[in-house]
Amino acid sequence: MVITSGKLRGNELVKQITALSAAGVKAVQLREKNIQAGDLLLIAKSAINKIGKSGTKLIANERLDVALLAGANGIHSSSHGIENMYIRKFAPGLLSGRSVHSVHEAVKAEKDGFDYILFGPIFRTPAKVKYGKPQGLKNLAEVCSSVKIPVFAVGGINPKRIKRCINAGAYGVAAIREFADTKNLKKAVKEFMKELGSL
């Protein structure tokens, strides 16, 4: 899963999502907290129109309204975000995901009916330094063994670290910086795909 970085706007963001889809990425989380709803809706609708039936799922972060109006594939909720009971009530057909930071939160997310969880940060990453130490692979393994739904490892993920996350039980990985800071998205996706085995 690629999570958008907040660095791009408008057509540039649509182009990035389209390029990620063309390169074979299976899911893109549209995480743009500083774009107003109307503009975000236009971006989401345009991206969905461009990627069509490519197999790439577009998941809106926090914005159930945008997900519904744009025809997105899913909605991702932060650890203190919208509860799954509301997602199921108003958008029963959407995938739903939850960010979690402990075994307790992971178990609760599964009990609440979320389809998948993001757990992290696994490794040190500049964006999360202010929140304390990274969770590490041991905690990742504990979370993965505590739930049956897919767990995506997030936070400081690069190709060299992927296999360690998978070996700890992760279903997959999610990354922001590795794709935001590259000028060659196709190459970046290929490097991730090589370590994952497939996408």
3-state secondary structure the chain: CEECCCCCCHHHHHHHHHHHHHHCCCEEEECCCCCCHHHHHHHHHHHHHHHCCCCCEEEEECCHHHHHHHCCCEEEECCCCCCHHHHHHHCCCCEEEEEECCHHHHHHHHHCCCCEEEECCCCCCHHHHHHCCCCHHHHHHHHHHHCCCCEEEECCCCHHHHHHHHHCCCCEEEECHHHHCCCCHHHHHHHHHHHHCCC
pTM over cut 0.75:
yes
Q: Per-residue confidence of the chain (199 residues) as pLDDT tens digits? A: 999 999 999 999 999 999 999 999 999 999 999 999 999 999 999 999 999 888 899 999 999 999 999 999 999 999 999 999 999 999 999 999 999 999 999 999 999 999 999 999 999 887 666 666 899 999 999 999 999 999 999 999 999 999 999 999 999 999 999 999 888 999 999 999 999 986 5
Residue 128 confidence (pLDDT): 65
